[in-house]
Structure 1
Amino acid sequence: MQLENKVALITGAGSGLGLATAQAFAREGARIMINDLREEVACHAASALGGEHASIGGDVSREADVDAMVRATLDRYGRIDILINNAGVPDSFVPTVDQPLEHWQRLIDIHLTGTYLVSKKVAPHMIAQGSGSIVNLSSIAGVLGLPVRTAYSAAKAGISMLTRVLGCEWGPHNVRVNAIAPGYILTPMTEELIREGKIDSDRVRRRTPMGKLGRPEDIAEAMIFLCSDRARFITTVIIPVDGGYCAWGAPSDAYTGELTGAIG
């Protein structure tokens, strides 16, 4: 029970990585406010967790919605110990010259501005209580150049720097700010991209030293560590959870073993 009696606000937690994190946090004793853009999805996820967990809809890029989700969490639990900035939307995989400005703006608003805005609204309460842990979702797309993923990559790189800046600013108040940079993880979104032919899972596995894709639980376990007291002296770091993908630099396959039917 590494997070016993901790209160966590998790954005975008109705499915995928956010839901896996909520499930893992509940297992470790945390009380969770699940946010999702789709209120009914957030409500269903919280109900499935049972116990003292709750939900609220809202768009992380809208200040009024963020104010409401922070206030709802404080009204219900009296404090916020953990913030997971997980909310995000998928990229279009369209060449940059063909991308409408609206697409760029929406991804920047949700990923980068949303992370900034929710952190800004939660931080005063963490500072007042003298403790807190914020974990942001960056990506290997914020480290490596991924063609046609322009807005997504720029937003994730921004989140990494925002993590460092806020961690330095709020460290004196014992508020830690870190980030996870997932590699290719088998979320419903990734599985759909594989089915559509936008991601070649065999090529990804060959490029990954561990020869497989990750699973949502892999991200959740890293989140638990960063939010636990075991990480009490860790702040401003961006941890890749990618099976070694970002580290591989040789002009050859990283994994030369047999590719099994299971991709994760």
Structure 2
Amino acid sequence: MQLRDKVALITGAGSGLGLATASAFAREGARVVINDLHEAAAREAARGLGDAHAALGGDVSKESDVAAMVEAAVARFGRIDILVNNAGVADSFVPTVEQPLSHWQRLIDVHLTGTYLVSKTVAPLMMRQGGGAILNLNSIAGVLGLPVRTAYSAAKAGIGMLTRVLGCEWGPHGIRVNAVAPGYILTPLTEGLIAAGRIDPTRIRRRTPMGLLGAPEDIAEAMVFLASDRARFITGVTLPVDGGYCAFGAPSDAFAIDDLDPRTAA
């Protein structure tokens, strides 16, 4: 029960990594406010966690929605101890010269501006409370150069620097700001990309020193640690949770695929 009696607001938590994080936080004793652009998805997710938790709709890229969301969370629970900026939208995998400006703008608005907006709205409350923890969703795309992931990569790299800046600025107020950079995780979105032939899981496993794609729970457990008092002296960092993907740099496979090994079966 590392988060007993804490109140956590998690954006974009109706499914995927956000929902896995919400489930882990609830298990550790937190009362969770699940936000999602689709309020029905947020309500269903919160219902699955139990009556102690709440759901709120809202677009994190819209200042009025964010203000209303934070106000409603405080009205319900009286405080926000943990914020997880998880909300995001899918990338297009389209060459940069073919990407419309609207695609670039939407990804920047949701990922980067959304993280900024929700953080700056919650921070004054945390300052009055005497501290808190803010966790952001970076990505290996914000650390490494991934072709055709232009807007997504730029937004995630911005989140990495925003994490550093806010960690330094708000440290004196007792607010820790950190990020997790997931590698290739087997979410429903990733499974859909695999099924569509957009990404090759075998190539990913060969490039990953641990030879595996991650599970949503791997990200959730890292979030639990960074949100807990066990990480009380950690701020301004991005923690890769990627099986060693970002660390590897040799001009060879990181992991030898053995089709007979059940750990590496596609």
TM-score class normalised by the smaller sequence = over 0.9
1:158 corresponds to which residue?
Answer: 158
d(CA) in 1 for partners of 2:141, 2:53: 32
Q: How does 1:63-212 map to 2 (within 5 A)?
A: 63-212=63-212
Match of 1:42 in 2: 42
Q: Secondary structure at the match of 1:167?
A: helix
Cα shift readout 1:1-56 (whole Å, capped 9, x = no counterpart): 00000000000000000000000000000001000000000000000101310000
Aligned pair count reads 264
What root-mean-square deviation, in Å, do the aligned CA atoms of Structure 1 and Structure 2 show?
1.0
1:252 aligned partner, one-letter code: S
Contact 2:3 2:30 in 1 (8 A): yes
Asked if 1:14 is matched to 2:14, the reply is yes
Q: Which residue pairs with 2:28 in the alignment? A: 28
Q: Is the alpha carbon distance of 1:249 and 1:21 closer, same or farther for their aligned partners in structure 2, counting shifts above 3 Å?
A: same
The answer for the alignment partner of 2:56 in structure 1 is 56
Contact 2:82 2:134 in 1 (8 A): yes
Q: Is the 8 A contact 2:205 2:257 kept in 1?
A: no
CA distance, structure 2, for counterparts of residue 151 and residue 184 of structure 1 = 18
Secondary structure of the residue aligned to 1:48 is helix
Cα deviation code 1:213-249 (max 9, x no counterpart): 0000000000000000000110001000000000111
Give the aligned partner of residue 228 of structure 1. Answer: 228
The 4+ residue runs of structure 1 with deviation greater than 3 A are 259-264
Partners of 1:171 and 1:50 in 2: how far apart?
33
Residues 45-78 of structure 1, C-alpha deviation per residue, up to 9 Å, x if partnerless? 0001013100000000000110011001100000
Letter in 2 for 1:60: V
Deviation at 1:177, TM superposition (A): 0.1
Three-state SS of the structure 1 residue aligned to 2:136 is strand
Secondary structure in structure 1 of the residue aligned to 2:70: helix
- Measured in 2, the distance between the counterparts of 1:198 and 1:247 equals 24
Secondary structure of 2:253's counterpart equals: coil
Do the aligned partners of 2:185 and 2:214 also contact (CA within 8 Å) in 1?
yes
The TM-score normalised by the length of structure 2 is 0.98
Secondary structure of the structure 2 residue equivalent to 1:240:
strand
* Deviation of 1:256 (Å): 1.1
Residue 214 of structure 1 is matched in structure 2 by 214
How much has 1:261 moved relative to structure 2? 5.5
2:231 corresponds to 1:245: no
In structure 2, list runs of 5 or more residues that go unmatched. Answer: none
Aligned AA for 1:130?
G
Contact 2:16–2:188 (8 Å) recurs in 1: yes
Mapped to 2, the partners of 1:191 and 1:107 lie a distance apart of: 21
Gapped regions of structure 1 (runs ≥ 5): none
Partner-residue secondary structure (3-state), 1:84? strand
Deviation, 1:258, is 1.3
The Cα of 1:131 is off from its aligned counterpart by 1.1
Letter in 1 for 2:190: T
Return the offset for 1:257: 4.2
Cα distance in 1 for residues equivalent to 2:258 and 2:233: 40
- The 1-side partners of 2:144 and 2:228 are apart by 29
Equivalent residue of 1:245, what SS? coil
What SS does the aligned partner of 2:199 have? coil
Q: Partners of 1:218 and 1:31 in 2: how far apart?
A: 21
Specify the code of the residue in structure 1 equivalent to 2:200.
D
Deviation digits for residues 64-99 of structure 1 (CA, Å, limit 9, x no counterpart): 110011001100000000000000011000000000
1:93-147 per-position Cα deviation (integer Å, ceiling 9, x unaligned): 0000000000000000000000000000000000111110000000000011000
CA contact 2:7–2:80 (8 Å) conserved in 1: yes
Name the SS of the counterpart of 1:253 in structure 2. Answer: coil
Which amino acid letter does the alignment assign opposite residue 75 of structure 2?
D
How does the TM-score come out when normalised to structure 1? 0.98
